Structure 1
Amino acid sequence: MEPEQIREGYLVKKGTLLNTWKAVWVILSEDGLEMYKKKTDRSPKGMIPLKGATLTSPCQDYGKRTLVFKISTEKKQEHVFQASHVEEREMWVKDIRRALSCLKAGKNFARRSTRRSIRLPDTVNLSELYSLMKDQEDGIKELKLEQESKVYNHCFTGATVVDWLISKDKARNRPEALMLATGLLSEGFLQPAGDMSKEGAHGAEQAVLLDQNHALYYFADSGFFCEGYSSDEDVLLKEEFRGNIIKQGCLLKQGHRRKNWKVRKFILRDDPAFLHYYDPTKEEEDPLGSIHLRSCVVTAVDFVPDAKKYDVEGDLFEIITSEETHYYLQAATSEERKDWIRAIQTVAKSGK
C-alpha cells in the first residue's frame, strides 16, 4: 500500500552542500518527506526517510531565520527547512513529530496533540496561548515604543507579557509566568526586538525572557519593524506596513516582465490594505513589491494568459488593482485559494 499523504506545501530548504536556500514543494507522508522543484513535477528531486530520524524545532543556528526546523536522519544527514510564518511551522512540526512517534511505535499515523521538547506542564498548549496573546480585543497590545534613538513598531515589553499571563490566569505568580514566557521565546513565538532582550535570548546557554519594562519583544509573525528617526517621506513609506496582518503564506506568482513563475511569501495587511510579497529564501526584511488592494477585484481563474500549460495548472486567482494592474497567483490547494480570495475581498472593501 502507498504511504498516506499527511501534508503538502511550500517550504524553504537549505542546500545540503552549498549554503543556499531554495523554495521547494514538500509532501509529508507516513514514512518520509518528498521534495519537488515545483508543484506540478511528477517525480521528486529528493526524499528524506523518517524512520530513525530526529526533529529539532526551533532550530536557532541561522541568525535572522527564526522559523527553522531540522530533521536529522538515521544516517546522520541533516535537512534544514524554513516556514513562512509561525503557525505554518507549528503545523509541519506537529505532523512530523507524530509521524516519527508512530514509526517508532510501529503504528499508523493518527492526528492528536503532541508535547514539545521544552519542560512545561502537560496542560500547556503554547500555540493556543500564542493565539490568545494575539487576540485584538483581549490580547497583548502592540505599541510604538521609542528607545535609544530608534522607534520600535508593533512591539511590547517583557514585563507586559508577564503581567498579561497573570491577569488572564495563565500563571499564578511572576516566576511561573516567566517560565511560560520563556517557553514562548524558546519556541520562536516571541522574538527579541532590542539589544537588552536579544542579550537575554542569545547571551546565555538557554534563552531567557526578561521581566523588565525596557526589554522589548514582538510576535514572530507580526508587522514589527524598527526605524531610526527619519524624514516625513520615510514615515509615509512605512505607513503601508502599519496594518494588522490578516493572512500570510507562500504563493506562486507570475512575473510582470518575463512571465516566469516564482514562489513568493505574501503578507496581507488590513489598514491600509496592502499585500506585500517577499523572496522567502532571503533574510531581507524589505519586500520585493506591494499591491495596494483598495477597490481591487479578485477572482478565481482557470488559466493565465502567456502561461505555458506545464508551468501552472489549477488553484489560480487574479488580482486587478484600481489602476488596472493584473497579478496572477497560484495557491497550494483549492481551499487555500478560497481563503486568500475571501481575505483579500474583505480587506479591499474595508481597508483604506
Structure 2
Amino acid sequence: MEQEGGVLKEGFLVKRGHIVHNWKVRWFVLKQNTLLYYKLEGGRKGTSPKGQILLDGCTITCPCLEYETRPLLIKLRTRTSTDYFLEACSREDRDAWAFEITGAIHAGQPGKVQQLHLMKNSFQLPSHISLHDIIDKMHDSSCGIRPSPNMKQGSTYKKTFIGSSLVDWLISNHFAASRIEAVTLASMLMEENFLKPIGNRSTEAIRSGDLAEQFLDDSTALYIFNESCKKKTNSKEEFNFSAAELSGTVIKQGYLAKQGHKRKNWKEENRPVGGFSLRGSLVSALEDNGVPTGVKGNVQGNLFKVITKDDVHYYIQASSKAERAEWIEAIKRLT
C-alpha cells in the first residue's frame, strides 16, 4: 500500500560503493519510478538524497549470489548497465524490498504484479521440515542426490547435479508435490546459500532478473553444494557470549545507531562488531525534546537507553517512534 507522499517503502539497507567497494548503511526511499538513498547524519536521514536509482528499464536479481559471504543481497541493474548491490538485515527484509522494488519496476504491468503476488504466496515449506533437513538428506549416501562430473558448454564440472534431477529428487522424496513447488523449494535452497549455480546456463538465470526462473528445471543447468556453508566462523571466537545465548531464537533484528563508548560517535554497523547480555538489564525510552543527558552530539529523537546489570549504559537510536517501541518491548521480554 502506498504511503503518504508517494513513498512505497523506506528503511535501512547496506549499499556497496561505486568507486571504492566499501559497504555503508544508507536510508532508502522507494517511489513509483525511483529509489532514493540518503546518508545518515548524526543518526538521522540527511535532508537531501545522496543519490537515486531510476527504476525504468531496471532488472532485479534476488537472491544475488555474487558475494558468498553476503547471502542477503539484492542486485539492481539499470537501463545503462550500472549495477547496484543492496544488502538487507534479514531474509524477510530482503524479500520484502525485492517484492516492492519489482512491483515498482512493473507498475505499468498489473498482470506481472499479480503474478508476483501469486508466486510469493503459493508455496510454504511444511513446519516439521527445515531446509537443513533437506540438505542433510541430499548428502545421504544411500538415498541422497549423487553429484557427478558433467560437461556443459565445452567445460567439465566435477561433483555437480542437473536442475531437472534435483526437481525429480525433491518430488520423489515428498518434499514437493509438483514441479512448480520443487522449483520454488530449490530456489529457497539457493537463497539460503546451500546450493550454488555453476556454468553459464544456471548462472545466467540468476543474473537475468526474472524472479520466476531463478532455479531452472532443466537438463542443461548445473548446480553444486555450497561447501562454504560448513565453514562458518565460530561466533564464540568472535564474541565472548555463552553457547546458550548464541543459539537462542532471534526475537528481533534490524539496523540501529549506537553511541560509541570511547569516542562517543554514532555508528550504524553492517556486520557484528560486539554485543552484550540483556539478562538483568533495564531499558527505557529517552525524551524526544532536546539532547538527553548522557548523549553526545546533536542527536535527537527515537532514542532509548539500555543499562546492563554491570551498570554499563548504551544509548541507541531507532529509525522511528514505532520502531523504538518495538525494540523496547522486545528487549523487555528478555531482561
What's the TM-score once normalised by structure 1's chain length? 0.66
Identity of aligned residues (%): 30
Unmatched 5+ stretches in structure 1: 117-121, 144-154, 193-199, 219-223, 265-279
Distance in 1 between the 2:240 and 2:24 partners? 33
3-state DSSP of counterpart to 2:68: coil
Larger radius of gyration: 2
Of residues 176, 181, 185 in structure 1, which corresponds to 2:185? 181
Q: How does 1:1-352 map to 2 (within 5 A)?
A: 4-38=6-40, 39-102=44-107, 104-105=108-109, 115=116, 122=118, 125=121, 129=124, 133=127, 138-140=128-130, 157-159=136-138, 171-172=176-177, 178-186=182-190, 188=191, 190-192=192-194, 200-204=195-199, 205-206=201-202, 225=232, 227=234, 237-264=242-269, 280=270, 287-302=272-287, 303-304=291-292, 305-309=294-298, 312-348=299-335
Distance in 1 between the 2:18 and 2:131 partners? 41
C-alpha distance 170-115 of structure 1, shift in aligned 2 (>3 A): farther
Unmatched 5+ stretches in structure 2: 145-169, 203-214, 216-221
C-alpha distance 298-15 of structure 1, shift in aligned 2 (>3 A): same
Q: Aligned-pair distance for 1:166?
A: 7.7
C-alpha distance 217-80 of structure 1, shift in aligned 2 (>3 A): closer
| 1:130-178, Cα deviation, whole Å (9 max, x unpaired) | 6x65xxxx453979xxxxxxxxxxx962449x99x889x87237x7765
3-state DSSP of counterpart to 2:268: strand
| 1:49-105, Cα deviation, whole Å (9 max, x unpaired) | 112222121111122111111112222222111111111111111111111111x44
Q: Aligned-pair distance for 1:318?
A: 1.0
Q: Aligned-pair distance for 1:20?
A: 1.4
Q: Aligned-pair distance for 1:12?
A: 0.8
C-alpha distance 46-176 of structure 1, shift in aligned 2 (>3 A): closer
C-alpha distance 329-33 of structure 1, shift in aligned 2 (>3 A): same
Could you tell me whether the CA contact under 8 Å between 1:178 and 1:209 is conserved in 2? no
Could you tell me whether the CA contact under 8 Å between 1:182 and 1:209 is conserved in 2? no
Q: Aligned-pair distance for 1:43?
A: 0.7
Distance in 2 between the 1:202 and 1:345 partners? 43
Could you tell me whether the CA contact under 8 Å between 2:7 and 2:30 is conserved in 1? yes
The structure in which a higher percent of residues are helix is 2
C-alpha distance 321-209 of structure 1, shift in aligned 2 (>3 A): farther
One-letter amino acid of the structure 2 residue matched with residue 331 of structure 1: A
Higher relative CO (CA 8 A, sep ≥ 6), structure 1 or 2? 2
1:274 aligned residue: none
User: Once superposed, which parts of structure 1, at least 4 consecutive aligned residues long, lie more than 6 Å away?
Assistant: 207-211, 215-218
One-letter amino acid of the structure 2 residue matched with residue 332 of structure 1: S
